Amino acid sequence: MRCVIIESMEYNIQSQHDKGKLHAIERISVLCDKDSFMEIYSGIRHNCTSFGMATKDIPYDGVITGFGKINGRTVAVYAQDFSVQGGSLGLKHGQKIAELIARAIEARCPVIGINDSGGARIQEGVDSLCGYGELFFQNVRASGSVPQISIIAGPCAGGAVYSPGITDFIFTIDSISNLFITGPKVVKSVMFLDISAEDLGGAIVHAKKSGVAHFRSENEKDCYEKVRRLLDYIPHAYGERRLPKPQFRFNAHKKQKDIAHVLPENARQGYDVRLIIHATVDDDSFFETSAEFAVNCVTGFAQIEGQSVGIIANNPAGVGGVLDSDASDKIARFVRYCDAYDVPLVTFVDVPGFIPGPQEEQKGIIRHGAKVIYAYCEATVPKITVIVRKAYGGAYIAMCSKHLGADYVYAWPQAEIAVMGAEGAIGILYAKEMNDPAKAAELAAAAEKYKNEIMSPAIAAQRGYISEIIAPDKTRHYVAHSLHFLMDKRSADRPPKKHGNIPL
C-alpha cells in the first residue's frame, strides 16, 4: 500500500469519516488481502485549463487504480475518491479505469469498481463525456470475458450509473449508496416533486423495487465481505474451470428428513423453496442474489459436492411463485451470467403460470417472459431441472423444460404437469355444466380423471419429457450424479450467425 498517499490525505480521509464512509484507500485495504494491493497510474493528472482548473492539482485524478488479491487470487480494483474534487470523472479519470479494465481482460481477472463520485467533471465538458464513453466501451469488452463487480459506496448519478449498469453484480450499502439518472434537485426543477436522494435511488429502492442492485448491506464492512464471498463461487475468467474445491459437508440424514416434509398437504398452500435448496446443496453453501427483488423466484450460487452451480427456483411463498415481468428479468439475467462463465444450472420448478391481468400485459410480460425462454434455450452449460409440484402452461416450458434443452428433468411424485390446473381445465371442458348443481359429482370425477390421466408426471415420463420420477429425499443424489455425468459437456452445434437477438 502506498503509505505516502495516506499521509498526505489525512484531512480528506477525515472528511469521508465525517460522512460515515471509508476513504478510497481504506476501502481497498478492507476489500483486498493484507498488503496485496499495488497501485498503478498514481501520477496521472488532468489536463483541463478551464474555469480555474489550470492551477488545481487533483491527486491521481480522483481515482485509485491497481491490482490486488482477494482470497489469494488476483483482482483489478479501482476506487473513486469523493474527497478529491468530489470524485468527479474527467477524461484522464475515465481513461485510467478503462485502461485498468483492458489490462484485467488480458490478465484474465475480475474487475471490482468502488463508485463514489459526484458525476461528470463539468469543467471538462465533452472531455468528461469522452472519459465515460471509453469506460463504457471497456465494460462491454469485458462482459462475458471477466466478471465485473460494482460497489456503490456513495453517489452515482447521471451517466455514471451506466458503467455499474453494464457490470455483472451491483452491491449497495444502506444510507450510503445512491444511484439515479437525475438527482433530487433536477427532479424538483423539472417535475416539481420533492424527494430525497434515499427515496429516489437509495439502496433499498434498488434492492427491492428496481432490481438494479443484486446485494444490499447494512455497512461497508459487510459489503466487502459479501464481495469476497461471491468471488469464491464464480470463475474469475471465461473458460476457467479451476475454482477452489473446499471440503464439502452434507448432513444427509437431516436434510433427507427435511426435504421429505417440505410440501404442504394443501396443494394451494405456499412454502419457501429455499427449504428445498438448502436440503439439496452443500451445507451453508447457498449464496442468494437479488434476494429482495422479485421474491416470487429465487436465484443464487451454491455448491454441490464442492462444485459451484447456479440455482434458479420459483418460490410459492411469493405471489404463489408465478412468473411476472420482474421475475422473468431476474431469472433470464442470472441464467445468462451462469452460461457466460460455464456455471451449471439447477432449476427447481413450482410454477402455476405466467401472471394474468392488464397491469402485467401493459408492462410487457410477453417480452419479459420471452427472455426466460431465450436465456435457457441459449444456455449450453449443464442444465438440470427438478419439478417439485406445479408446472403449468407456458411457464412449464419456460422453466428449463426438456423442450428447451434441459439435459435431465426430474419430477417428484406429486408433480402436476399440464396446460393448466384441473379446476381450470374442467371449467373450460365442461363450461355448460359448471352452474348445474346436479352435475357437481360428475365434475369432481372429471377433475380427478384429469389429474390422473393428464397431469400426472407419469404421462410426461412416458413421453420422454421427464428423465425420472424421483422421491424428494433422492433429489440431492440425482442432481449430484447428473452434474458429475455432465462435467465435460460441450456446446451443441449452432447455426452460423453473428449473435441472436434476445427480446430485451
Task: Give the integer Cα–Cα distance in Å for 60 and 42.
Answer: 5
Catalytic residue among 158, 300, 393, 421: 158
Helix (H, G, I), strand (E, B) or coil at 148: strand
Q: Which residues on adjacent β-strands are paired with residue 354?
A: 323
Task: Give the integer Cα–Cα distance in Å for 148 and 145.
Answer: 9
Catalytic residue among 203, 213, 332, 395: 395
Catalytic residue among 159, 318, 424, 427: 159
Task: Give the integer Cα–Cα distance in Å for 476 and 346.
Answer: 11
Task: Give the integer Cα–Cα distance in Å for 281 and 475.
Answer: 10
Given a contact cutoff of 8 angstroms between Cβ atoms, the answer to whether 472 and 259 are in contact is yes
Q: How many CB atoms lie within 10 A of CB 463?
A: 10
Task: Give the integer Cα–Cα distance in Å for 351 and 487.
Answer: 28
The C-alpha cell that represents 96 in the structure block: 485510467
Whether 158 sits among the annotated catalytic residues: the reply is: yes
Phi-psi region of 185 (alpha: psi -120 to 50; beta: other; left: phi over 0): alpha
Phi, psi of 301 (to 5 degrees): -100, 150
Whether 68 sits among the annotated catalytic residues: the reply is: no
Catalytic residue among 394, 405, 424, 427: 394
Task: Give the integer Cα–Cα distance in Å for 288 and 164.
Answer: 20
Given a contact cutoff of 8 angstroms between Cβ atoms, the answer to whether 164 and 135 are in contact is no
For residue 101, give the nearest of 70, 73, 72, 65 by alpha carbon. 65
Given a contact cutoff of 8 angstroms between Cβ atoms, the answer to whether 131 and 94 are in contact is yes
Q: Which residues on adjacent β-strands are paired with residue 178?
A: 155, 202
For residue 255, give the nearest of 233, 281, 236 by alpha carbon. 281
For residue 458, the surrounding DSSP H or E stretch is helix 457-463
The C-alpha cell that represents 129 in the structure block: 463525456
Task: Give the integer Cα–Cα distance in Å for 396 and 418.
Answer: 8
Task: Give the integer Cα–Cα distance in Å for 297 and 318.
Answer: 7
Whether 159 sits among the annotated catalytic residues: the reply is: yes
Whether 104 sits among the annotated catalytic residues: the reply is: no
Task: Give the integer Cα–Cα distance in Å for 467 and 211.
Answer: 35
Q: How many CB atoms lie within 10 A of CB 149?
A: 23
Task: Give the integer Cα–Cα distance in Å for 109 and 102.
Answer: 11
Catalytic positions, written as ranges: 158-159, 394-395
